[in-house]
Structure 1
Amino acid sequence: MEPQITELKEKHLVGMHTTMSLVQNKTFELWGKFRSRVHEIENRSSSDFISMQVYDPSYFANFKPTNTFVKWASVEVPDHENIPYGMDSFTLKSGPYAVFHYKGSSADTSIFQYIFTEWLPNSKYLLDDRPHFEVLGDKYKNNDPNSEEEIWIPIKEK
C-alpha cells in the first residue's frame, strides 16, 4: 500500500482529549463522551471526525506500550470562536503527511505495523514530530471490515 504524500494546510479543531497509553486505552470512553456532545459545535467545516494522537518527541524512539500520549476526538472548524464548555481547541500545523487510504476494521492494527516497520524505513522519509491523525468520514464504520478511513502520518525527508 503506497500512501499519497500531501501538504496539509493548517486546520482548526475543536474536541475533547485524554491522556492514555496503548495498555490503558481510553478511546471508547473518549469518543462516547464526545459523540454525545458534538451537536453543541455549531460551526463545523465538514461532517468528518478527526481522531488525533499527540506524542511526546521520544515516544517512538523509546517505544513501550505503556508510554502515554494525548488522544483527541475532534472535528474541524473554521476558527476557534464559540467553543462549547468542556471542550478544547487545537491548531493542527501545516506540513507534509503520508496519507494511507485504509479499508478494514479499526480493531486491526496491522496497517500501523506495516507503516512503521515496512513502509517508513524503506521510504525517503522520517517520522516528523507533529500529531498523527485519522479522518473518519462517511464510509467509516467502527470495527467493521468494510470501514474506510484516511491515516495521516507526519513525515519529513531523510
Structure 2
Amino acid sequence: MEPRIEILSEKKLIGKRLQMSLTNNKTHELWRSFMPKRSEILNPVSTDLFSVQIYEPSYFEAFNPNATFEKWATLEVSDFNNIPSKMESFTLPGGLYAVFELKGHDTVIFDYIFRTWIPNSEYVLDKRPHFEILGEKYKLNDPDSEEEIWIPIKERKS
C-alpha cells in the first residue's frame, strides 16, 4: 500500500477537542458531542470532516498506550468570523504529507505506516498534526467505508 505524497496548504478548522490516550479513548464521546452541533458552523468549505490528532514531540519515540494526545472533531471553514459557542478554532499548518487511502476499518494500517512504510521510505515523521479526512464515502462501522489518513512527513536527511 503506497501512499500519495501531497503538499497541504494551511487549513482553518472549527470544532471540539478532548485529551485522550489509546487506553482511555474518548473518540466516540468527542464525535457524539460535535456532530449534533456541526450545523452551527456557518461557513464550511465542504462537508468533509477532519479528525485531527496532536501529539507531543516525543510521543512516537517509545510506544505507550497511556500517553495522552489531543484529538479534534472539525470542519474546514473559510474564516474564523463565526465560531459557535462551545467550539474552538484551530489552524492546521501546511506541509508535506503521506496520504493513505483506507477502505473498511483496517486498524493494522497504522502499524504498517509506522513500522514498515516510514522506516523504509525516504521520509521521516514530522512533528505536525496527523489527521483523517472523513468524506462522503465515510460510513461509521461499515466495511465499505472509505477515508484518507494524512501523516506529516519530511525528507530524510542523508
Both structures adopt the same fold (TM-score exceeding 0.5): yes
After TM superposition, the runs of 4+ consecutive aligned structure 1 residues lying more than 2 A away are none
Any gaps of 5 or more consecutive residues in structure 1? Answer: none
TM-score (norm: length of structure 2): 0.97
Secondary structure of 2:45's aligned partner:
coil
CA displacement at 1:104 relative to structure 2 = 1.1
Residue identity in the other structure for 2:155: E
1:62 to partner: Cα distance = 2.6
Are 2:158 and 1:155 equivalent residues in the alignment?
Answer: no
Within-5 A mapping of 1:134-149: 134-149=132-147
Q: Which residue of 2 aligns with 1:5?
A: 5
Equivalent in the alignment of 2:118:
120
Which whole-Å CA distance do the structure 2 matches of 1:98 and 1:150 have between them? 10
RMSD (Å) for aligned C-alpha atoms: 0.6
2:47 alignment partner, SS class:
coil
AA in 2 matched with 1:157: E
1:108-152 residue CA offsets vs partner (Å, 9 max, x unmatched): 310101100111100000000000000000000112111000000
Q: Counterpart in 1 of 2:90? A: 90
Which amino acid is the alignment partner of residue 17 of structure 1?
A: R
Partner Cα distance (2:97, 2:80) in 1: 23
* Unpaired runs of at least 5, structure 2: none
> What secondary structure does 2:46 align onto?
coil
| Equivalence map 1:1-158=2 (5 Å) | 1-105=1-105, 108-158=106-156
* SS of equivalent to 1:45: strand
1:102 offset after TM fit, Å? 1.0
Q: Number of residues paired by the alignment?
A: 156
Secondary structure, counterpart of 1:33 in structure 2: helix
**Kindly, what percent of the aligned residue pairs are identical?**
60
Distance in structure 1 (CA, Å) of the matches to 2:45 and 2:16? 17
Structure 2 letter corresponding to 1:69 = F
Which string of whole-angstrom CA distances, capped at 9 and with x for unpartnered residues, describes residues 4-24 of structure 1? 000000000000000000000
Shift of residue 63, structure 1, vs aligned partner = 2.1
Code of the residue aligned with 1:132 in structure 2: it is: H
